[in-house]
Amino acid sequence: MAATIALIAHDRKKDQIVEFAKQYQPVLCRYRIIATGTTGQRIKDATSLEVERMLSGPMGGDAQISTQVAEGKVTAVIFLVDPLYAQPHEPDIQALQRICAVYDIPLAINVATASAILEQLRRTRVAHLIFNPVSGQGNADHDLTLIEELLSPAMELVVHLTTPDTHPSELVEDAMSAQADLILASGGDGTISAVAGALIGSDIPLGIIPRGTANAFAAALNISQGFMPIRSACNIIVQGKTWVVDVAKCNDRPMILLAGIGLEAEVIERADREAKNRWGAFAYIMEGIKQFNQQELFETEIEVEGVIKTFNAGAVTIANAAPPTSVMAQGAGIVDASDGLLDITIGAPKNDLEAVGAMVNLVGAALMRHPTNREDIINLQTRRVKVKTHPPQKVVVDGEMVGTTPIEVECIPRGLVVFAPESADLHQEAPETEA
């Protein structure tokens, strides 16, 4: 993580650095703060800043800070020196000055220079990146290095790695507490959905750097472009154009893409890793064709605006956003992520021949962006829907199995700010202003 400020002061300058920290607390609170032992304690006692204390200066705290500078973990160093009365036991600035010069890190030795650095940082965006190292088929270390190289010139970047014990939403909460200007998510749709879910209702824009198999949300917003999706996504974030899109909740679980009942859930569960590695998002389409022929119909009760309708269905898909590759969401030919409505597609083929025809028709609807024209594919739009089935059916939300029916899904209009290109085609009157 590079968004770190180091604070050091000689004994006769400690009162000055405490006053400096109090004055610039609104800026400093957005950064990780490290300081030599006594200086750090004085600042903690006088402010509400979280300060990571190194050893005291005489015991090598300045050397510890120098090491972090050399490791690329420090944005700026504030070292208030006493040029006239420094004591022999106090740290010498020469070693730290040399290491900052080698790695081109700003170093202030008086309050005037320190203020100039902080005023510049006040105008610099701080981005927190939630990075899933196990997503995708590439080299995660290489991907992260590339992201840092592409974004660091435009913003201060703080990196959080997901772990099996740390849910992405917890990392988002940490980033929001640190007053992040923007939050980025890099991984598959599960990671993107979890981060987006934690940002619902906030004004913090989300940057998406897709590294999964389907990358469905990125594709729906036209973010996943070309043969270099990481470079393309980072360029979109740097350009700073944001849009406001709808999100949803399924049984109070955040949902940015879709909820699938029956066929969709079976497809997600059965599409194995080998097929996804080989075919990518098309593995889901291939599995869908296979499963459509095998899917048994089930009794379905759908409640929309107080009206209950019943069907014998093999698949029910409730979409907030979906790319063309999410075939089972394409009954209306297009899923608009900014119209304040959910798009419901109900597939009810009566035999194998109808099943194949329905799947072909859905693929055609997605490609041509026109509604289907079949009696066994039913399209509905609503802001809120309840679905019950008999017997209970598996449910998948944003690519993750979440249990079985019944479910209730509600659209949250304009619930999420995202970085997206001009070509996102969100059917809004005008894009938001630049972030």
- Quickly tell me which residue has 């599960």 as its tokens: 190
pLDDT at 428: 44
Question: What is the radius of gyration, based on Cα positions, of the chain?
Answer: 26
For 169-186, b/e burial (b = at least 16 CB within 10 A) is: eebbeebeebebbbbbbb
Residue 151's nearest CA partner among 208, 190, 100 is 208
**Residue 10 labelled as part of a binding site:** yes
**Residue 423 labelled as part of a binding site:** no
Question: At how many degrees (to 10) do helices 352-368 and 282-294 cross?
Answer: 150
CA distance 326 to 215: 11
Neighbours of 142 (CB within 10 A): 10
**Residue 370 labelled as part of a binding site:** no
**Residue 38 labelled as part of a binding site:** yes
Q: Which residues contact 203 (CB under 8 A, 6 or more apart)?
A: 417
DSSP 136: S
**Residue 14 labelled as part of a binding site:** yes
Which residue out of 15, 45, 62, 272 is catalytically annotated?
62
Segments of the chain with pLDDT less than 70 = 1-2, 225-226, 264-295, 331-332, 348-371, 373, 375, 423-435
376 as an active site residue: the answer is no
pLDDT at 89: 78
pTM over 0.75: yes
pLDDT at 430: 38
Q: Which helix (H) or strand (E) holds 381?
A: strand 377-382
Q: Which residues contact 287 (CB under 8 A, 6 or more apart)?
A: 267, 270, 271, 275
**Residue 57 labelled as part of a binding site:** yes
pLDDT at 212: 85
User: Please, what are the domains in the chain?
Assistant: 4-122 (3.40.50.1380), 126-254+416-424 (3.40.50.10330), 255-410 (2.60.200.40)
- pLDDT, tens digit (0-9, with 9 covering 90-100), for 328-350: 777 667 788 999 999 998 886 66
128 Cα distance to chain centroid: 9
